[in-house]
Amino acid sequence: MNLTVLILAAGQGTRMKSRRAKVLHELAGRPLIGHVCRTALSLSPSRVIAVVGHQGESVAEVFLNEMKHMAPDVPAATVFQHEQRGTGHAVRMAEALLAGTDGTLLVLSGDVPLLTGETLKTLLDAHHSDKYAATVLTTEMPDPTGYGRVVREVIGDFGHIVEHRDASPAEREIREINAGIYAFEIATLFPALEKITPANAQGEYYLPDALKILKHDGHPVGVVCHHAHEEILGINSRAELAAAAAYFRHRKVSELMRDGVTVIDPATTYVDADVTIGMDSVLYPNVTLDGATVVGENCRIHSGSRLSNATLADNVTVKEHSLVFDSRLDTGATVGPFAHLRMNAHLRAGAVVGNFVEVKKSTLGEKSKAMHLSYLGDATLGDRVNIGAGTITCNYDGKNKHATVIEDGAKIGSDTMLVAPVTIGAGAMTGAGSVVTKDVPEHTLVAGVPATVKKKLDTPTQ
């Protein structure tokens, strides 16, 4: 069976009140259209086409990128709908591209991101087993305002769909709504689309009218009514985007728990779509894991922390209120509380970064420690290095960044200024408050400017 997917994404999304096309708004770190692509791809289609129009260039670019990223082998194409004259008109834009293609066309909406592949499989199974020319996905909405209503015939068969704006008060009472998701046999679809007229409140060519026309012309039309209305939510406003994000979060966190992750408070746990977490890891309340973050097994992420594009091996602990961006923590590493790691910071096995330490573009070797109040930038630390409180790599001379190298077992005294470029040899030590401007040989102690008595102070009066 040949399956082509068509994603409608040309509309502006006026109700979003945004300068950005609606389908580019993000839900759990992925653009709406990316969610739709992912669902479409779970059906192994032979091709995925997007109809773009409003901000078409950017929508096309994001769509093609998402497709290339998720399924480089599935052909993806875009067609332009220059004027948005309705969903029926949008599908017609793909006619030339579909010439010579037979089989089924699954039409998805770029603004319905929560739909699952299982639901679409149910739709396609019904479509094929009952040999329908068209099958529409519907659901009972608690509040159907704004959606197209499904008007059934007396015996319960599909009759037609009426848009909210065109519906009579009696029709507006109907709670079964059109999800905007359809399976069509390509052979009979396009002749039916030609017969659609824009005789409605919006003066648009409505795709749902194709169902009525097919039925009128004697083709069987099916309905699959899905129980989970949350999945069918179409995003038209910011409020709906927030509602969909909440539902998505709930689903994502439920999946994590099912797979063996302890989530102390699902309601305040924010995990993006692409994040993966290993078994027996624990997420404390109020954590955010976003982007392409990967967490291994048996890790603990404590409250108030955010991991963004972070890679954690097993047994890693991130203590309260720490930020880990684009960085890597090897097995047994510990971070925080109040630590900030960014731009390819890399902690090797068992390394520790403690309170108020910032690490940028630096590597800490195995079991190396920077426990308090430090800045490590453009630095490479060997194994078992100890960084005393207040140490700073002075990596910037006002124009350029310079590197600091601290070799195995070196001990940096509290408040050392390491003026880069500089290398501290293996096993060397710096005294508290040293300002190190030259390389320090292995196993050597350097120390700077000790304070001396200048005068006796008056006894303070209180």
Q: Name the residues annotated as catalytic.
A: 372
Residue with the CB atom nearest Ca ion in the bound state: 234
**Least CB distance from residue 178 to Ca ion, whole Å?**
10
What whole-number distance in Å separates Cα of residue 55 and Cα of residue 267?
Answer: 35
Q: What are phi and psi of 212, to 5 degrees?
A: -65, -40
Query: In the bound complex, what is the minimum distance in angstroms from residue 15's beta carbon to ligand UD1?
Result: 9
Binders of Ca ion among 87-116, rule CB under 5 A?
A: 111
The window from 204-212, 233-241, 245-253, 287-295 that contacts Ca ion (CB under 5 A) reads: 233-241
Amino acid code (one letter) for 409:
G
- In order of 269, 288, 389, the CA distances from 250 in angstroms are 9, 14, 41
Residue 250 CB, shortest distance to Ca ion, in Å, is 22
Residue 358 binds: one of Ca ion, ligand UD1, none (C-beta under 5 to 8 A by kind): none
Q: Is the CB of 87 or the CB of 315 nearer to ligand UD1?
A: 87
Binding residues (CB under 6 A) for ligand UD1: these are: 8-11, 51, 81, 84-87, 89-90, 109-112, 147-148, 161, 163, 177-180, 206-208, 234, 236
In this complex, which beta carbon is closest to ligand UD1, that of residue 167 or of residue 299? 167
Q: Which is nearer to ligand UD1, 161 or 193 (CB)?
A: 161
| 85 contact choice in Ca ion, ligand UD1, none (CB below 5 to 8 Å, kind-dependent) | ligand UD1
Measured from the CB atom, the residue of 164 and 367 that comes closer to Ca ion is: 164
* Cα dihedral 417, 423, 425, 427 sign: positive
| Residue 112 binding partner per list ligand UD1, Ca ion, none, with a CB distance cut-off of 5 to 8 Å that depends on partner kind | ligand UD1
Which of ligand UD1, Ca ion, none sits in contact with 177, Cβ below 5 to 8 A by type?
ligand UD1
Nearer to Ca ion, 113 or 296 (CB): 113
296 binds, among ligand UD1, Ca ion, none (CB under 5 to 8 A by kind): none
* Minimum distance from residue 176 beta carbon to ligand UD1 (Å): 10
* Closest distance to ligand UD1 from the beta carbon of 4 (Å): 16
Residue nearest to ligand UD1 (CB): 148
Which partner from the list Ca ion, ligand UD1, none does 390 bind, CB cut-off 5 to 8 Å by kind? none
Which residue, 68 or 172, has its beta carbon nearer to Ca ion?
172
Minimum separation from the CB atom of position 141 to ligand UD1 (A):
9
Q: Which of residues 400-439 bind Ca ion (CB under 5 A)?
A: none
Q: Which does 31 bind (CB under 5 to 8 A by kind): ligand UD1, Ca ion, none?
A: none
Number of C-alpha atoms within 13 angstroms, CB side, residue 279?
2
State the nearest-atom distance from the C-beta of 111 to ligand UD1, in Å. Answer: 4
Least Cβ distance, residue 163 to ligand UD1 (angstroms): 6
Angle (CA) 80 86 89, round 5°: 55
45 binds Ca ion (CB under 5 A): no
How many amino acids of this chain bind Ca ion (CB under 5 A)? 3
CB of 146 to Ca ion, least distance (A): 8
Query: Quick one: 54 or 342, whose CB is closer to Ca ion?
Result: 54
Give the count of alpha carbons within 13 A of 385, CB side only: 28
148 interacts with Ca ion by CB under 5 A? no
The answer for residues whose C-beta is within 8 angstroms of residue 403's C-beta and 6 or more apart is 378, 379, 380, 395, 420, 421
The answer to whether 144 contacts Ca ion (rule: CB under 5 A) is no
Q: Which is nearer to ligand UD1, 180 or 304 (CB)?
A: 180
Residue number, 63 or 206, with CB nearest to ligand UD1:
206
Residue 56 near which of Ca ion, ligand UD1, none (CB within 5-8 Å, type-dependent) = none
Q: How far apart are CA 259 and CA 357, in angstroms?
A: 33
Q: Is 29 in the site for Ca ion (CB under 5 A)?
A: no
Among 13, 53, 208, 234, binds Ca ion (CB under 5 A): 234
Interacting residues with Ca ion (CB under 5 A): 111, 234, 236
